[in-house]
């Protein structure tokens, strides 16, 4: 009799992009929220790694991809100030983007704070690592984590070549008004 194969624990890294937190001017509050939430989802989490805005974020991402993390979640540097460079350095590392994740994070945030639409955060895949940018505010981090919670384990599984075995048998595709099976005959 053979035992079922166990998947090793998923590995994640939390990265905080903040000149002031990196300089010790104030304490990082978003990174610990990410760590706690991802641990709650079953990830083994390193960090938060606090780095200055800009190129140090890109360096941390490149190192995380080389270290084969399954997931990297960043906080900070996604706004429109001159020092906010997280989306640019993230795009330089990504192989492809997953726009729906970032769009969903902005949409959830916008319900509470209209300025959430100013976040330029991106999400995508680099190698076999899912990378997601969250805003720097604790509220933005919480909103982003609420979006990620129901999908991130499945997304990582898909990136690693998993099948759709954890989908529900009834995917409600016929409920969509434009679906072929949802139209009246």
79-114 pLDDT per residue, tens: 999 999 999 999 999 999 999 999 999 999 999 999
Q: Quick check: 131 and 74 in contact, CB under 8 A?
A: yes
Report the CATH number at residue 135: 3.40.980.10
pTM of the predicted protein model: 0.86
Residue 35 lies in a domain: yes
Residue 2 counted as domain residue: no
Of 162, 158, 150, the closest CA to residue 37 belongs to: 150
Instruction: Give tens-digit pLDDT for 136-184.
Output: 999 999 999 999 999 999 999 999 998 766 554 444 444 434 333 343 4
User: How is residue 169 annotated by DSSP?
Assistant: S
In a domain, 73, yes or no: yes
In-domain check, residue 178: no
| DSSP run (H or E) holding 47 | strand 44-51
Q: Print the domain residue range for 47.
A: 11-161
Total domains in the chain come to: 1
């Amino acid at each position: 009799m053979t035992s079922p194969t166990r998947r090793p624990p998923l590995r994640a890294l939390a990265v905080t992009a903040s000149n002031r937190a990196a300089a010790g001017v104030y304490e990082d509050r978003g990174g610990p929220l990410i760590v706690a939430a991802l641990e709650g989802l079953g990830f083994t989490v390193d960090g938060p790694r606090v780095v200055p805005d800009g190129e140090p974020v890109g360096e941390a991402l490149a190192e995380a991809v080389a270290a084969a993390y399954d997931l990297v979640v960043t906080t900070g540097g996604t706004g429109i100030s001159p020092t906010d460079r997280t989306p640019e350095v993230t795009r330089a590392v990504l192989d492809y983007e997953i726009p729906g994740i970032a769009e969903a994070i902005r949409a959830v945030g916008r319900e509470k704070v209209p300025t959430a639409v100013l976040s330029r955060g991106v999400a995508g895949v680099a190698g076999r690592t899912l990378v997601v940018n969250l805003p720097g505010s604790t509220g933005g981090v919480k909103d982003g984590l609420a979006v990620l919670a129901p999908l991130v384990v499945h997304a990582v599984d898909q990136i690693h070549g998993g099948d759709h075995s954890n989908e529900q048998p009834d995917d409600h595709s016929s409920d969509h008004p434009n679906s072929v099976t949802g139209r009246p005959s």
